[in-house]
Every structure is written in C-alpha cells, then in structure tokens.
C-alpha cells in the first residue's frame, strides 16, 4: 500500500488523486455524464438519505439545475462509480434529469473510501455512527493503526479513538445517535460507565428528561460514585490506615470535584486515580493542577 505524502493532507481531496477529464467537445473540465452509466459506491460511508430533503433538493435542481458537480471515477467502458455526491445523484434522478455534471478522477478503492469520508465529514453530512463505521472499515480493510488513519484523514488520533469507542455502546444507543436523539457529547459521557445495562438506563433517562450533556455527566459521575462506595470495604476499628486513606480520598475528591480513588498494598505502594468524563472535564482538572503550581 502506497503511503500518502504528509504534504498532501492539508491540500484537500485534490491532493489524493489525479484529474482525468473525460474527452468532450468543449474545453470545460466538467463533463455531462448520463445517469444510466453511473453506479453508487457500496462502501459510501453515508447510509441515511432523508427522503423529504431529497425531494426538496430535487425541486431545486428542477428549477435551477445542479450547482455543484458530483465526482466520479471510471470503472469500465462507459461506466462510472460515485466518489462523492450520491445525494445530488439521487435527487437528480428524482428531478428526472438524464445527465449530470461531473468531475472524472482516477482513484484506487482505498482512496475512494477516504475521499468520500473526508468530504462528508467536511460537509458534516455523516452522523457519528456512520463516521465510526467508516473509520473501522478503513482500519480493517487496509490494516491501518489509529495513528496512521489519523494521518491519512487529517484528524487527531484522539478524535479517531473517540469515534471508534462509540461502536462499543449498545445497539439501542448507537441508533439514538444515528437518529439524532442524542449527540456525541451524551455518548461520550455514557461511555464513562462500563455496564451496558446501566448505559441503557442512563440513555433512557436522557430521553425522558431531555437532559443536557452536563446533566448526563453528573448522572454518570453519581453512578460511579455510588458504585465505588459499594466496593469499599467497611473500615474496622483496627484498620486505622484505611481511615487515613479514606480521609485523603475525600479531601482530593472535594478539591478536584470528582471521585478520587486510592489503592495501596501492604508495603504502602499504590496509586491515585483521577477519573474524568470528557475532554472539557479533563481541562478543568488540569487547570486545578496549574493553579496549585502557582
């Protein structure tokens, strides 16, 4: 698999592929292609097309024409596959068009998937689950690491990791994301709980109470606090050192406004765990450390 040069990442889709215009009688780089010669890409990351929105776009195309050409690649004699613009292609068919303006480009299967993913992300056309599945598909199909994928699509590794984590959520919550019943912030907060049953319970609470992301984070934090309390051993009269650790836990928990956990073995070795529910929550905790330095 050829490695894309890093310099290509900041130049958009054109840097990934070469232009190969279909020969026409005119000099324009845009060609008119018959709709009957175009097939969709089965690996297109976008899977949901709102019918009402398609009909509105079709009406606009009937009235004004297609403003933005779609992008195709040639896959056989007089046969083309969509790289980007399937929504415009569908709406053009609804509008009764016989041809559609298009760019014809050369691209490998791998690059077609990348280009379709990048364009949809840039246009914010994909829901979080579609993005997650597209990331997973690229990783599995082309044996990429998360680091390598982040380089290829120009996204931070943490962003890639966060989207992939969504696929660990129960199917019902994933459907809620696809249907926009909750957003990415809610899902990331729910991932702060390990138990799928509890995750679904929190999801139901969000829907019933129309809870914000902040409220969801509070619910998750309260659930984890309650779980930690149940796991704590009762402190006996002879276990004075445990009382000291519990006092420190309480002090640190108040300071960082989150449940701090201490673990310690008989030799006095241990660790302090500071959980956080989101990137914003981590920034808040980091700012507390910064203030302690002053």
CATH value at residue 198? 1.10.10.2830
On whether both 248 and 278 belong to a single domain, the answer is yes
pLDDT (0 to 100) of residue 34: 94
Task: Report yes or no on 91 lying in a domain.
Answer: yes
Task: Report yes or no on 9 lying in a domain.
Answer: no
Six-digit token string for 227: 């779980």
On whether both 214 and 120 belong to a single domain, the answer is yes
Of 34, 52, 55, 86, the active-site residue reads: 86
Task: Report yes or no on 5 lying in a domain.
Answer: no
Whether 217 is catalytic is no
Six-digit token string for 272: 């302090």
Boundaries of domain holding 89: 15-107
Task: Report yes or no on 133 lying in a domain.
Answer: yes
On whether both 172 and 75 belong to a single domain, the answer is no
Distances in Å between the Cα of 113 and the Cα atoms of 39, 70, 117, 138 are 15, 15, 6, 8
On whether both 60 and 19 belong to a single domain, the answer is yes
Task: Report yes or no on 6 lying in a domain.
Answer: no
Indicate the residue among 107, 141, 161 that finishes a domain.
107
CATH code of the domain covering residue 76: 3.90.1530.10
On whether both 197 and 139 belong to a single domain, the answer is yes
Task: Report yes or no on 8 lying in a domain.
Answer: no
**How many other CB atoms sit within 10 Å of the CB of residue 21?**
13
Task: Report yes or no on 3 lying in a domain.
Answer: no
User: For every one of its 294 residues, what pLDDT tens digit does the chain have, with 9 covering 90 and above?
Assistant: 444 443 333 333 343 333 343 333 333 368 899 999 999 887 777 767 778 888 988 898 888 888 889 889 888 888 998 888 888 999 999 999 999 999 888 877 767 777 777 766 655 567 899 889 888 888 887 788 888 888 887 788 889 999 999 999 999 999 999 889 999 999 999 999 989 999 999 999 999 999 999 999 999 999 988 888 777 655 444 444 566 777 777 788 878 778 887 777 766 777 888 888 878 778 788 888 777 765
pLDDT (0 to 100) of residue 26: 33
The rounded distance, in Å, linking the Cα atoms of 253 and 247 is: 10
On whether both 126 and 62 belong to a single domain, the answer is no
On whether both 252 and 202 belong to a single domain, the answer is no
pLDDT (0 to 100) of residue 294: 57
- Which one, of 27, 118, 135, lies nearest residue 71 by Cα? 118
User: Taking a C-beta distance cutoff of 8 angstroms, is the pair 206, 182 a contact?
Assistant: yes
278: left (phi over 0), alpha (psi -120 to 50) or beta: beta
- Which one, of 292, 241, 227, lies nearest residue 270 by Cα? 241
Indicate the residue among 190, 223, 256 that finishes a domain.
223
If you search the block for the tokens 């969801």, which residue do you land on? Answer: 216
- How many domains would you assign to the chain? 3
On whether both 138 and 218 belong to a single domain, the answer is yes
Task: Report yes or no on 25 lying in a domain.
Answer: yes
On whether both 121 and 209 belong to a single domain, the answer is yes
On whether both 218 and 121 belong to a single domain, the answer is yes
On whether both 120 and 208 belong to a single domain, the answer is yes
Indicate the residue among 107, 131, 148 that finishes a domain.
107
For the chain, report the end-to-end CA distance as a whole number of angstroms.
Answer: 51
On whether both 213 and 121 belong to a single domain, the answer is yes
């Amino acid at each position: 698999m050829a490695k894309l040069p890093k310099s290509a990442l900041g130049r958009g889709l054109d840097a990934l592929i070469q232009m190969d215009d279909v020969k026409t009688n005119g000099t324009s780089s845009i060609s008119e292609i018959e709709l009957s010669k175009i097939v969709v890409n089965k690996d297109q990351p976008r899977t949901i097309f709102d019918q009402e929105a398609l009909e509105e776009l079709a009406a606009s195309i009937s009235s004004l024409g297609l403003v933005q050409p779609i992008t195709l690649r040639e896959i056989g004699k007089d046969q083309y596959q969509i790289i980007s613009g399937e929504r415009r292609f569908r709406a053009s068919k609804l509008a009764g068009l016989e041809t559609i303006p298009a760019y014809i480009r050369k691209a490998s299967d791998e690059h077609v998937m990348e280009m379709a993913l990048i364009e949809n992300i840039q246009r914010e056309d994909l829901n979080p689950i579609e993005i997650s599945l597209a990331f997973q598909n690229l990783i599995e199909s082309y044996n990429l690491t998360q680091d390598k994928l982040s380089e290829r699509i120009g996204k931070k590794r943490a962003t890639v990791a966060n989207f992939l984590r969504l696929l660990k959520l129960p199917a019902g919550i994933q459907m809620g994301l696809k249907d926009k019943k909750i957003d990415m912030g809610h899902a990331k907060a729910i991932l702060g709980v390990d138990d799928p049953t509890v995750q679904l319970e929190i999801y139901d609470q969000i829907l019933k109470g129309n809870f914000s992301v902040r409220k969801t984070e509070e619910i998750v934090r309260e659930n984890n606090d309650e779980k930690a309390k149940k796991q704590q051993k009762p402190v006996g009269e002879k276990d004075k050192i445990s009382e000291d650790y519990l006092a420190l836990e309480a002090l640190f928990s108040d300071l960082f406004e989150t449940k701090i956990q201490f673990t310690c073995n008989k030799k006095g070795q241990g660790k302090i765990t500071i959980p956080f529910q989101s990137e914003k929550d981590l920034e808040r905790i980091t700012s507390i450390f910064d203030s302690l330095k002053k």
